[in-house]
Structures are given as C-alpha cells and as structure tokens.
Structure 1
C-alpha cells in the first residue's frame, strides 16, 4: 500500500470519525445521575472545573443518565450538576492520566434554591480498565525514597515490575523498569504524549526533573489500540502545569562517604571506604499569567556526584589494581506554558533539556584503560492542542521534535585482552562511538461519544531523518585467553578495519519512518458490561536497506539463488537463510487486533472483573537488528584479520602464541574487501507479542482494595544474531565450500526468528491516599523464557545456539530477568506533627546465569559448550535480591503556604550484598562466583544515607 493511500484512508476516517478514550496526556470523567428512586435523569448539565487552574468542560447526561467528559488535563476537579427542579450538587474528585474516574450523583427535588456539596475520593478502581497497570500518584512521587530521583524508580512499585539498570552501557546511570520478562527495552515511554524512546538501543531517552513530573500511568500488559510501539508495557507521563497561585520549591540532597557503609568489594579487598560525595539540587516555579486561562511552570535539577570504583584484576595485573574516580554530572530543565484559547480549545507547549557526562564501561574487574566517558545531550519540544468540537466530539493533536546526541570517548588504545574469570584489560572494543537521533512526531486522536459507544480513531507519524551511529572496535588486536593466566593459551585473535588500513571506525545511517493507525470502540453493552474493541496497524520503513556492498550478503544471495539453502546436502535447518534469495522488502502485515472487557459485578464499582487478549507490535530497535549490518553494507570496514584455535593458537615453531609476539598468519584468505561482522535478513520483521489477561479488583472499604491479575505474553519475530559459520570437527568452517571469501570468517546473521514466553500472576493490596496513609504492595509469581537471548525477552545478546546445525531447536532458556518470586511494598504514612514516614521494600528471587564448560568439546571454534546433563542455556541460579529503603521527613510551617521540609533517606538499610554477574566458565577458578555486588558501578547501592532540605511556597 502506498504512503498516499495510507494517509488518504486516515483522513477519510478522521472526517467520518467515530469516537474514543483519553490518550497519554489527559483523563476522562464519567458517571451516572439518578433521582431519589434510582431512576435515570437525562438532560442534567454537568460541569467539571479544575480547582487549581480554572479550566472547565461541560456535558449533559443522556437518556440513561450517563455523562462523560473526556480530554481533561490531569488534576483535581469540582464536578457540578444542575437540572431545573432539583437541588444542584457538587463533588470533588481527581482525574488521572489515561484513566477513567467515575463520579455518580443521586439528585433530590429542590424545595428552595440550594446546592449540596460532597467531597468525593478519587475512585480506587478504574471500572473501564481492561488491561493491567497502575497509576503512580503525585503523593508517591513527592514522598517515597528515590535513589537518584528518577521517576522510573517508582515504576518498580507497580505489580509485576522489576527494577534494574539499562543493560546498554551508554545509559550507565539510568534505571530501567522491567515487565513481562524484559530488560526495559520493550516499553513505550510517552512524555506529555510525545515519543521518548531510544531507537538505537531501546529504552528511555531523555530524563526530566522529578519536580516536573505530575504523575504517570504504567500499563504493564494489554493496553488499548490507541497505544503501540511496545510489545511489553507503556508508561504515560504527564508533566506539571502552573496554577492560579504562584507556587515554587527549592531543594538540596547531600551524600558523603561518612554516611555510607562499606561496599562488599571494598570489604573483600580490605580497602577503606572510597571517596563519595553527591549534591543533587534544583528548583521549580509555576503560576498564572492570566488567571483561569494562561499558566506557566518551570523546573531545573542538577546532579553532581563523585564516587569511586575499586578494581581487582584477580592477580593478573597487580599494577592496574586500585580505586578509581567515577565523576557523574547531569542537568535537567523543563519549561511549560498552558493556555485556554477558548472554552473549547486548550493548548500546552513544553520544552525539555537534559545533558550528562557519566562513566562508560566501569567494572570491578576492568581497569580505567578499558573505560570511557559518555556524554549525552537531549532537547525536546512538545505541543498539544485539545479541542472540543461539539456533539460529544473531541480532538487531540500532538507535535514533538526531539534531538539526541551521544559521544563516548576511549580511555586508551591498548590491545584488548579478556579472561574466563571476567577480567578484561586494554581499550574497550565499543569505543569511540557516537549516536545522533532527530525525530519529528505528528499524532492526532479523534474521539466521539455516541450513545453507548465511545469511538476513537487516530494516526501517528514519526519521521526520523537522522539516526546515525559511528563506532570503532578498537585500534589494536583483541586477544581471548583460555585460562586465568597472562601466559595462558590464546584461542582467538581478531582485528577490524579497512584493507591496507590500521583499524578505525565506521558510520551507519538508518533514517526511518514510523506510521500507525488505529480504530477503537468502548461499547457500554449494559450499565455493568463494557467491551473494549480495537484494531491497530503499524508500518516502519528503513529496515529493508541495500546490502549489495556487503560481501557476505552477495555470497549468501548467490548461494540462495542456487538453491543451496533448500538442499538436503547442507546440514540444516538454515531458517531465514532461504530469504537471501528474495528481494528486500519491509514488513507490511503488522495488524494488531485487541479486545477486552470489564464487568461491574455489583454495579457500584466495588467488584470489577476484567480481561482480554490482543497483539502488540514493537519497534525493532536498530542495535539489535540491523545496525552492524548497515555498517557491513558500506564494504569499507569489517574483519581484516582473524586467527582462531580453541585448543590454543601456536606459532610456526609449535610453541603457544603469547601476547606481544608477532601475529600468526591470517586465516582469512582470498579476501579483497573487509568481511563485515554482520549481515541482515532482506525480509526484516517487527517483533510482537500476543498477550492475554484475566483478573478482578475488589474494594474492601476504608480506601482499601485487592487485585488479582493473571497475565500471559508470547513473543515472536524477536531479533537474534547467531553465529552459524563455525568449524566442523575442528576443520573448515561450515560454509567454507559455499561462500568463497566470507566462508573462511566468523560472522553473525541478524534474523527475526526468536521466541519468548512470559506467564505470571500478580496479587495486590492497595490503599488510597487519604491524607494519612497510602499503601501499595504486591507479590508476583512468574516465569520468563526466551530462545533469542540470555539476558531478557527484549534483549538480543550475542546469541550462540547450542548446535549450529539446529540453531532454532534449542529449548527456551530462562532469561536473567526471570525472577520466579517478587515482592514489592511501599507506604506513605503521615501520622501527625508534619511527620511523614515512607518505606519501600523490594525482593527478587535468584537470577539465572549461564553455565558453560569453557572448552571446545565439539570443536566448532567456540568455548561455550554446555557441560553434560545441562540441557538449556542459563541453567544456573544465583542469589536473591532484597533492598529496604526509607524516607523520614518533617515539615515545618513557616508562614501561610510556605514550609520547610527536613528529610533523611536511607537506602539498603540491611546492607544486603546483592551478588550479581556470575562467572560462567567451568575452567575458571572463579566459576559460579559473582563478580559484582551492591555498591559497584551499575549495581544497587550498599547501605547509604542522604540528607535533604526542601522549601515550598
């Protein structure tokens, strides 16, 4: 289908439209109005006015007494009802992002002019939510202990969600929420309705000051058709706006090594506590420009942190051991303007800025020569126009431009050496590198409430003309040792560069366009039963690129056209290889139907059943799927030297080769151009999951509720990068007789053939904030497996199948994000005297890790063979994770609304060591032992405290 036809269909749909739900910037208010006998009252005028900004919208109850007001900016509203002959009523409630708040009225006959005002709690149960998720409120954001003050930390409070660091080292200080067995890359991050995703490595891009975050809705499974670009979950964040009163804040949080406990790494190496000092400070201000009409808000936050990382090379390089500095700086700023153009049109414009400088690749087993400094700069400009068109029609238009630039410099150009125990020295093979992304996003959502149907149609278009990556694999050869000794045998020597050159780097340009169209219907079948029906279509261009410059690609195409990969003479299956005989084409069949239901069993919102099923497509982030193949297509950079012998490389005289000696003869023969490290399928696919859920919510009274949700997600077309051109019985490589030049090298094929499965059940208890107490606690029992990655169902890893002759026959393995048992509990308690106590407890059962022999038992050229009796990858289990954090604060009233809050926060109060990253190779003396602990870089913290002060006015 041509682009013109796609857009023509969209415009036709918008013109003839049929209606929907609130998108990721607003919420919906609805309810039923009846008389004293419980009979429906039609024709009642309903007005909702924001108590802080004066913004208001109106509606009228229909023949069933039902009213609905969509497109309300997040906040607290006073809802008034008026009908001649009846006493006017007013109730106060809150509206949350991408949620429906229900407020019912029972009106009485007026005996005189009167108005009845009732204070109503925000509804504890969203009777229209068919999927699974949770709203993190302003009270939780303001009061719970947050290490680093990143809002993503709070996402871990949502049932079924884990918290870890983003696995890509370019985001070394960024926390990542994990859902459905993922590592944080299968989540769609929307800030004020705008795309905030990294299209290179996945995950969150820009960070925002915590004081600018109003609230967010984390939909972990089974969200509606108006949201896509994720086969896991979606986080919809709304930033704060100004109000009719000038309000502001200023704060400072401080840490010092005198407030810290020793890390485990410091303890076992008998080191004193490393230098540690952190300042995190900022301010915010908002208020009216024109009361009830125009408001502004701004916030700024800075992190200035100086910590250390102890390094031990485990006796291999004593002169490289020590304690080394880890400087980290970050600035975040937001400015926002909101303006009610008229009673029917509401405009919001927001600018965000973020930059940082942070360590790259720091590790307790790698000295600073293998590190780097990662510098990031982000800009985003977001505009949203919310328009009531009359007759129950609402239109929301969003535009966003975003800019991202990353540069990682190298700390050295020394040869790289790696050992089985995890020690590595020399230049990081991933430095230097840069990433640049420019995005233009246009989105329109049209809603029409018509009778019992709440219809919505919409389209989204993201143009990313710049997605550029430059990188190098080091300036010197890379050596792999067979044992934990500097004089041990070397199994692999490799070097990338250009023919006749001496190393260097390459540039990948991956411009792309992302189209999405959807139609959605919320059908109120009865006053208790609602069906949520939708269908979505996603289409991405830019993945079926020209690879004719890639030597491997040309030879695979020639072989496929000869029918080699359909021949029984070649040990197969070679799933995906047969596609090299076909013309490149984009993935065009990404149709995603979705259906769900809610049933209000008692009709009063206290017992709600929900469930549904649907398909969810993601964006195949480029690093996992095509990045290195794009580089390979340039034919100017790739492998120019390779020597491999899993029994130990030898010199011409038969002695074992040692680092520093002249390099042995190159095993790459007949090579006229560099052999790339990757080649991609000419028929790329976007990954997806088929999801289902079934559960219920039950209100217990006094603001408490319990929820139980069973969830299931089956993933398909996940990116895998297997090495299949291995040696056969220590001899020639598998394709040596088929691919004349590239058949002598080792390389990976980027395919979309991976699968995954996640199943879990969440048990939740929660209590609504009543000014005294808020509670959210959950237990999750789950199972996550994948055939595509060791790390997570949304990760790629460097996948090496157990058998190169049956690469997709491996049993699905547990991922490292497969935590069978998870417990999370949080509370905000304000007993009296301005005192607030807020704990968070997190527990995860043992993480999986891989177990390999460390020897080449099948002589295929790799040392990743499984030991006897071990049938799957990731068969080992490490240690449990647990952490208790606490925040205690005292608010001191100074004058009027001005107050000073004195804060003390403690993290990991039990000083749990929380071991991680286990040695996989059985040849290592450290086999099965963890290499990282709490307090190490990119790990949870050892016990530490921080002090803070906050002024609010």
Structure 2
C-alpha cells in the first residue's frame, strides 16, 4: 500500500490514533526504542509483539500521558482501553533503534492526524519531534535495496558529514579516524589499542543501524567523532532458516592502474591487485519455548584469497583467509516485567600470505621468498537484563567482554633483519623481511553498565553508570637476529640528526639502526556516571539537560597508575520545538561537551619496559647477501654519527614522573548544533542543520630539551614527554644539577621548553609550542522520501570547513598511524605557522541513494558519493629558527648547506599544494525476488565504482626529504579509489 496521510478528525477517532500533540521526549537506550503518547486519563495501554508474544500494559496518568521505555525494536500492536471498553481499533507501530514512536490514542489525543503516516499498515513518523540528536537510522531491509558495502563502516558513510579517512577508518565531522565509538547490542566493540577499527559481525547478522553524528545523549561518551550503534537479529515465534551466498570474483574486478615516476620506473603497481571472496552463511532462528525463549544462530563460511604486488612490482603476495564466523543471540522473556538477552560471536580471522619474487615485465612470479601470518579478532559476548520494575521506573544492566588479537609474524622473522630504503619511492623493504615489526598482542575489554529511566510527571529522569577495564597484553620487537630495523635516509653534509649528531662532509645518506621492544600487561580503566532530565515544558516544547562525569585511569607495565584524570564534567543541553503543534515539523538544537580517553597504545609505548634505541651510521653503500636461495641487499655501516639515542625508552619502566605531565588535562570537544526538519507530504521530508565543533587540547609527545634550569650554561634536557602542547607542564627533573631528578618544575610550553642554540652550539634561549587547534563548521541539507513498496530516495549536501593545526590523535599529514603519539608536536616548529585546512577537510559532499521497484520481482538501486578533494601540503625538513632537521611548514630555498643562520627559508602554509580532484563513486544494483511455496529467493547484483574512477585520495605531502633536498616523489599518489568491482548475493529464506 502506498503511503497515505490521514487528516480528518473523524478518521482519527475511527482508527483510534492521533499524532498531532505528542508529549513525551524521543529517548531510548542504545539497544532498543520506546513508545509514548497521550490517551484518556486513567486508560490502560497495551503493546504486543506478534513476533514474540511480548506484552506490556501501562496505565495513563492523570494528564493522559503513557510511556513504554526500553522496547526491543520491531513492530508492535497498540491498543487502548478504559473501563473494559476498547478505545478505537488496534494499530501497528514501528519502534526503531534509539528513537521514540509517539502515538496519541482516541479522545485523549489531538483531533488532527496530519502527522500520521501509514506505510504498509504500519504507523511511522518521519519527523521525530522529540529528538535532539543528529542521527541516521538504516535498517537491513533498506540496505538490501541499494548497493552498499557489507560492513558497519560503509553504512556510516551514508550519513551526512562522514567521509573515508586514512588507516581504514572514518572521519565524522572533521574528526580524525581514532575518535569514534562502535556498539553492537550495547557492547562497546571499539578497538581501544589505537581506536581505529572494531569487532564486527556479518552483514546478515545485523538488524538495524543508527549512525549518530552529533548531539547524542549523556549515556554516550568517550568519543569526539561519532557513534555507530547497531543491533543484531533475534529469534521469534516463527521458526526460520536460510542461507546467503556472497561472491566477489576477480573476473568481475577492473584492473588497477599502474603509476610510474618521471624516469619511467614503477612507483605504484596496482594492475595485479585482485581478490576472490566467497562468503556463505547459514542461519536458523525460532522459539525454544513459545512466547518465552528464542534463539538466533549463524555460521558463516569464509574464503578470501587476495593477490597483489608491492608498489615496485617486484614482490607478489598471494593470501588466504578461511576462518569462519559464528554468532548467536538468545532472548528470554521471563515475564512482561523482566527480559534477559545473551549475545556471543567470534570474528577471529587468520590470514596466511605467501611472498614470491615477481617479474613485472614478463608478468610471471618466481620462487617463494617468505610466508607471513596475521591473526586478528576474537570472541565477544554480552549479557543484558531489562527490568520494568514499575510503570514509571525501568532499568537495564549489561556485562560483557570484547577480545581482539593483534599478531603479525613471518617465516623470515628469525633469520633476517628489516631493511628499508627511504631514498626511493614506496619506501620498499629491500631485505628479506616483509613485515617491519613482529607484534603479539591481545586486547580484552570488560564492560559493565547500568541505565535507569524514571518518569516523574513531565520530567523523565535518565541516569546510570558504566565502567570499562581495558587490558592489552603486548609483546613487540623488530625481526631478525639483531632485532634492529635499518632505514636508509638521504641527507646533506652539516645536517643535524635527531640524536644531535652532525652529518660529516661528503656524506649524502645515513643509516638509522633502531631497536624497539616492549612487553607486559597494560590496563586502563574508564568510568562514568550520568544524569539527564527531559522536561516536557509544554506539549510542544521539550528541554533536555544532562551531565556526564568521566574518569580515565591509565596504568603502566607494573600495574601502577601513571595518568589519572578525574571529574571531567561533560554538560549537554538540547531542545526540540514542535512549533506548529502538528507533529510534522520541528526546530531543534543542542550544545555539549565530549571527552576522549587515552588509547592503550600510549600505555604500551610510554609506560612499559620500553626500549627504543636509535644508532646512526654513515651509509657506505649496499651489499648483496643470499638467503633461502634469493639475493637481498643490506646496508654497509660506516662510522657512527653522534651518540646512541635511547631517550624515548631505555628498556625499563622508569620514573614516569619525568615523562608524563603530573597535571595533564584531557582532550575534549565542544559542539553546537541548530537544525530544522519538516514533512513535505506523507512520504517526503527535508531538513537542514548547522554544526560547529571545536577541539580543545591534545595529549601528545613533545621533546622537552629545556627544563628551565641552567647547568653549566646550558639547560637540562628532559626528553620526550606526554603532555598538553602549548600549556603548563609539570615534570619531575633535576633542579640542582647533580644529574639526579629531585623535584617538580612547571614549564609553560607556550613560551618555553625548547632550547635554542647558535651556529657554534651556544645556548641562546628557548621557545615554546603553538596550542593545538581544530574547528569544524558545516551546513547539512537533507531530503528524504520514505519507501512505499515502490520507490525511495535520500539526498544530502554538506558544506564544511575543517581548519586548525592538529587533525587529532591520529595524524594523516605525515602518514604516521601511532594514535596519540603523532609527529605534530615533536618539536615547536612542526606546527609553527601550521594553521589551515586539515586533511579531512572535504569542502563539499553530495550523497544520493535510491531504489525503485518495477514490480514484485524486479527492482534497481543506486548510490552516489561525490566529494571535493582534500588539501595538499608541502612539508619541508628544516626551519629558519634552529638547525633541526624535521618536518615543518618551511622549505629551504637558498644556502641550504651553509650554517643554520645563513639558510633562507620560505613559508608554505597548509594547503599550499592545492587540492586533490573531486571524487565520484557511483554504485548500481539490480535485484530479483520471488516467493516460492515456503521459501523466499533474492538475487542481487551490485556494481561498485561503476565509472571505474581511480583518482588520488592521498598523496606524498613531503616537499623535502632533507634540508634543501627536494622530494622527487612529492605529489605522487599514495592512495587511490578502489577499482570497479561487482558483488553477487543469493539468499534463500524458509
């Protein structure tokens, strides 16, 4: 049935429904929804799920208000009665994830049905006039109609203001990729080691997604980006089973383009990058005890076989991953007041990759040179209790665990050292090791939370607490007998290296031999409590006021606290105004503060028995050696340059008081949103919202070379510390020049902390760091047409500007993926005069998706994601203030080999290299469906990147590789669009 709008009061009374005057706020927990409205005072209102038999009855208060909190998502039959007589006829109402359905019944409701929309006999409300969030809800059924990648992040990219970032993550509203949170059935499954990635389940196991891009409630925290909130399938009273085959053959993939340097040598070879992927999942669901106990279970057989070459086309990789997925969901409706659910799944994945020599010209692979092994994922489970303790007081309790492996190794790890030549394109490994570091890690989260709702007249109080204990068991080291990583760098005579050594005359390359090791068990505890009042001031105006108080406790490798930040107060204030009083339009807004925890990687890197030893040598050329029948290259080490540098880790936990600011402040973001949303007719709606975000503080490593105390005419040096750049730092150091730390000093790093020297090495003073800044401004326009069994359409346009000098905890400027330990503040000149457009600044974004059904069997779908290009920088390797040979926004243009004070530099601000081109990604699909006796068949062919555009998405931003040494690969692409590929899905449900 097509959508119809019911407008006459007589029809309103006949059906017993009216939505024009809704009184309760649109609020729900993160795993379910809610239902509220008005009816005759004292009437009894009953909801019943035909799928599970779940039934609840509440009595309306003296003002006719009723509310059902914590309802599992789905379709319910709603019926009111008073004094034993039914009020109107029963209706079906859809309760969606994280939203509240508002339905007024009979004479207690309003007399106009302008806001009621009947779609396929179900009542839905496209404009939720009691919500202050910026969120996008998408069901599995909607996703099956259009070509969308079969993972949670691809779903998130449908939302306005969300773009693909580096390192496999997504950027929400200008944030870096390590600032998001992902929940499955209320369990936080976000990677807490680097905060990039998350545990996941097969697409068919999901039921509904909600992508929160701003203004979310105080029950959500530990994110300054966005939230992906998802729930899984559940069993019902109907026994069902089926299978789904998803096939992505290499024969339906377009070749990647090869790219060459100015000399015609391979720079990035992609033409041999292909894969075959086959997933077959089988599932069953149904009642164990009718109306009481239900199950849903799935097993997915996986066969993934990727093939690729390295950038130069000299090594061929042939992989195999066939670890299966299993998952189950149990639901026990103990009675109409108590529910219990259990979720468990394993997303463990093992990949084996054989490495072969490859002849690019002949297109032929040679002998096998190595085999690499990778293990990821793990087991996850959560137990959730829901209690409707009284008609006005309800609660939810959750306890669960989330595990993720991080294990990488290879057969060559024992015998071969890692060697990388950073003088040439692609930074190739020229030794016999393919992986740069061996890592054996297991991350385990133990999560517990309590959430309560208490209705007190026109006030709905929500309060709760949650606590996570995140433990990383970690062992990492470089491969090879020496456990050292040899990297060859270009240089010029007279340059100063990171250890203070001066490059000798006649030397234009050096070798850095780095030994980096850490092991131990590292824990962080994140806790929070919150309270929120949702005050329905008038029937048309709702005020939402809440506060979340957080605490972060990070522990070192010995189990002792070394960073503790308490009493972080995050206020949130929002409103929603149904200004016409008809439930069809609203003006809404909110302001709030959001805090971001410190990743566990910082514990491992900063607070463990960490060894980071760097020794520099003159590069005296390459020598060949034979291993496993193959010839490789290794550097010939000349004289050592400068001292051995172990300032970032000497192999012990050490006294962290000299490495961590004792008064460190948290990273947080303030956000303000003002929006409007309105229904155009029974199926069309539109909206607009303005967004402002400002990130405060950074927690990053800084090299403090001056503690402010002169000893022998020069200041004491502290080394790399975790602190807030540009703010006061409190550190334990040597204050009486006896070489032993004895007291705390306060250093205002906005003015001091970095020692300055003249050409002769004499101390001449100090300077400080710029404060980190990031602002995001955006206007989002949305247009939506709801599916009416015939067609649907959704469009959004986002204009945004992301500016500042710090992208966030992850930094894609320099391609450095160590979250919280970026290169942005290593010395004061990396970010000096570095304000401008940030890497996630996509000034324009256009997103379209739609589906059209020709008949009951055939339908088509399409998507478009178009966005303007990111800014390109031109990083130099020095600065006009001292002899530091490090990243900066200055490039040397004259006297580059002379004394530091004689060099001439040119400032190249952020974005000085222009912008990358627009990116257009079009997807198309065709679906055939047919119902047999007792079975439903669905066949879908989807094509992604239909136009096969392979434009640059990332480039080499380094204009110089050394002071005055121009990088010949500047501006070359380091990341491109994925070539066109196709996906065939065949499913049968019984």
TM over 0.5: yes
Closer, same or farther: CA 804–838 of 1 in aligned 2, 3 Å: same
Instruction: Kindly indicate whether residue 142 of structure 2 is the aligned counterpart of residue 140 of structure 1.
Output: yes
Instruction: Kindly indicate whether residue 639 of structure 2 is the aligned counterpart of residue 615 of structure 1.
Output: no
- Within 5 A, what are the aligned runs for 1:176-255? 176-255=169-248
Partner of 2:870: 847
CA separation in 1, counterparts of 2:355 and 2:775? 33
Closer, same or farther: CA 271–493 of 1 in aligned 2, 3 Å: closer
For the Cα contact (< 8 Å) 1:596–1:610, is it kept in 2? yes
Instruction: Kindly indicate whether residue 921 of structure 2 is the aligned counterpart of residue 928 of structure 1.
Output: no
CA separation in 2, counterparts of 1:233 and 1:695? 18
Partner of 2:440: 434
1:5-52 per-residue CA deviation (whole Å, 9 max, x = no partner) reads: xxxxxxxxxxxxxx994211111101223xxxxxxx211211111231
Partner of 1:509: 521
Closer, same or farther: CA 846–188 of 1 in aligned 2, 3 Å: same
Partner of 2:685: 705
SS in 2 for 1:542: strand
How far has the Cα of 1:884 moved from its partner?
0.8
Closer, same or farther: CA 86–376 of 1 in aligned 2, 3 Å: closer
1:312-350 per-residue CA deviation (whole Å, 9 max, x = no partner) reads: 43xxxxxx7254324344532210110111111111111
CA separation in 2, counterparts of 1:365 and 1:924? 27
Closer, same or farther: CA 22–335 of 1 in aligned 2, 3 Å: same
CA separation in 2, counterparts of 1:714 and 1:271? 39
Q: Which of 643, 656, 666 does residue 668 from structure 1 map onto? A: 643
Instruction: Kindly indicate whether residue 616 of structure 2 is the aligned counterpart of residue 642 of structure 1.
Output: yes
For the Cα contact (< 8 Å) 2:440–2:476, is it kept in 1? yes
How far has the Cα of 1:888 moved from its partner?
1.0
1:739-764 per-residue CA deviation (whole Å, 9 max, x = no partner) reads: 47x77xxx565546643211111111
For the Cα contact (< 8 Å) 1:346–1:386, is it kept in 2? yes
Instruction: Kindly indicate whether residue 170 of structure 2 is the aligned counterpart of residue 154 of structure 1.
Output: no
For the Cα contact (< 8 Å) 1:88–1:107, is it kept in 2? no
Closer, same or farther: CA 276–238 of 1 in aligned 2, 3 Å: closer
Partner of 1:332: 325
SS in 2 for 1:24: coil
Closer, same or farther: CA 204–30 of 1 in aligned 2, 3 Å: farther
SS in 2 for 1:121: strand
How far has the Cα of 1:401 moved from its partner?
1.8
For the Cα contact (< 8 Å) 1:584–1:683, is it kept in 2? no
Closer, same or farther: CA 863–594 of 1 in aligned 2, 3 Å: closer
Q: Which of 417, 425, 444 does residue 421 from structure 1 map onto? A: 425
CA separation in 2, counterparts of 1:192 and 1:403? 16
Partner of 1:377: 377
- Within 5 A, what are the aligned runs for 1:531-610? 531-543=543-555, 586-610=564-588
SS in 2 for 1:224: coil
Closer, same or farther: CA 794–345 of 1 in aligned 2, 3 Å: farther
How far has the Cα of 1:701 moved from its partner?
0.9
CA separation in 2, counterparts of 1:198 and 1:832? 44
CA separation in 2, counterparts of 1:670 and 1:798? 18
For the Cα contact (< 8 Å) 1:153–1:163, is it kept in 2? no
For the Cα contact (< 8 Å) 2:929–2:939, is it kept in 1? yes
SS in 2 for 1:211: helix
Closer, same or farther: CA 245–887 of 1 in aligned 2, 3 Å: same
CA separation in 2, counterparts of 1:135 and 1:672? 49
Closer, same or farther: CA 360–807 of 1 in aligned 2, 3 Å: farther
Closer, same or farther: CA 774–333 of 1 in aligned 2, 3 Å: farther
1:440-498 per-residue CA deviation (whole Å, 9 max, x = no partner) reads: 2211111111110110110112223x3222222453342233289xxx9655533334x
Instruction: Kindly indicate whether residue 604 of structure 2 is the aligned counterpart of residue 627 of structure 1.
Output: yes
Partner of 1:450: 456
How far has the Cα of 1:437 moved from its partner?
1.8
For the Cα contact (< 8 Å) 1:20–1:520, is it kept in 2? no
Instruction: Kindly indicate whether residue 857 of structure 2 is the aligned counterpart of residue 882 of structure 1.
Output: no
1:349-389 per-residue CA deviation (whole Å, 9 max, x = no partner) reads: 11111111348999999999899542113111111111111
CA separation in 1, counterparts of 2:196 and 2:139? 22
CA separation in 2, counterparts of 1:692 and 1:738? 44
Closer, same or farther: CA 943–584 of 1 in aligned 2, 3 Å: closer
Partner of 1:37: none
CA separation in 1, counterparts of 2:825 and 2:647? 32
CA separation in 2, counterparts of 1:797 and 1:930? 26
Partner of 1:828: 851
1:840-873 per-residue CA deviation (whole Å, 9 max, x = no partner) reads: 2111211123312457775313365523654434
Q: Which of 784, 788, 803 does residue 766 from structure 1 map onto? A: 784
Cα RMSD, aligned residues only: 3.8
Partner of 1:307: 306
CA separation in 2, counterparts of 1:615 and 1:718? 15
CA separation in 1, counterparts of 2:31 and 2:824? 44
Partner of 2:285: 286
For the Cα contact (< 8 Å) 1:479–1:490, is it kept in 2? no
Closer, same or farther: CA 375–525 of 1 in aligned 2, 3 Å: same
- Within 5 A, what are the aligned runs for 1:248-263? 248-263=241-256
CA separation in 1, counterparts of 2:583 and 2:354? 51
1:749-801 per-residue CA deviation (whole Å, 9 max, x = no partner) reads: 55466432111111111122222223221111111234334428998476445
CA separation in 2, counterparts of 1:223 and 1:520? 12
SS in 2 for 1:140: helix
Identify which of structures 1 and 2 has the higher relative contact order when contacts are C-alpha pairs closer than 8 Å and 6+ apart: 1
How far has the Cα of 1:833 moved from its partner?
3.4
For the Cα contact (< 8 Å) 1:405–1:437, is it kept in 2? yes
For the Cα contact (< 8 Å) 2:599–2:820, is it kept in 1? no
Partner of 2:730: none
Q: Which of 939, 947, 951 does residue 902 from structure 1 map onto? A: 939
For the Cα contact (< 8 Å) 1:533–1:594, is it kept in 2? yes
1:624-682 per-residue CA deviation (whole Å, 9 max, x = no partner) reads: x4431123xx26x2215235xxxx8689xxxxxx9632332252269899647994434
Instruction: Kindly indicate whether residue 948 of structure 2 is the aligned counterpart of residue 911 of structure 1.
Output: yes
**Count of residue correspondences:** 833
Closer, same or farther: CA 606–62 of 1 in aligned 2, 3 Å: same
Partner of 2:930: 892
How far has the Cα of 1:120 moved from its partner?
3.9
How far has the Cα of 1:803 moved from its partner?
9.6
CA separation in 2, counterparts of 1:490 and 1:672? 25
SS in 2 for 1:139: helix
Partner of 1:44: 43
Partner of 2:99: 99
CA separation in 2, counterparts of 1:134 and 1:613? 19
1:535-573 per-residue CA deviation (whole Å, 9 max, x = no partner) reads: 11111212578899xxxxxxxxxxxxxxxxxxxxxxxxx
Partner of 1:467: 472
For the Cα contact (< 8 Å) 1:544–1:586, is it kept in 2? no
Deviates more, 1:418-427 or 1:820-829: 418-427
SS in 2 for 1:848: coil
- Within 5 A, what are the aligned runs for 1:467-486? 467-474=472-479, 475-482=483-490
TM-score by length of 1: 0.80
CA separation in 1, counterparts of 2:382 and 2:216? 23
For the Cα contact (< 8 Å) 2:476–2:517, is it kept in 1? yes
CA separation in 2, counterparts of 1:372 and 1:748? 35
Partner of 2:743: none
CA separation in 2, counterparts of 1:849 and 1:28? 47
CA separation in 2, counterparts of 1:329 and 1:490? 47
For the Cα contact (< 8 Å) 1:586–1:685, is it kept in 2? no
Closer, same or farther: CA 273–588 of 1 in aligned 2, 3 Å: closer
Closer, same or farther: CA 587–150 of 1 in aligned 2, 3 Å: same
**Structure 2 unaligned spans of 5+:** 1-24, 110-116, 493-505, 622-632, 727-771, 892-904, 960-965
TM-score by length of 2: 0.77
SS in 1 for 2:347: strand
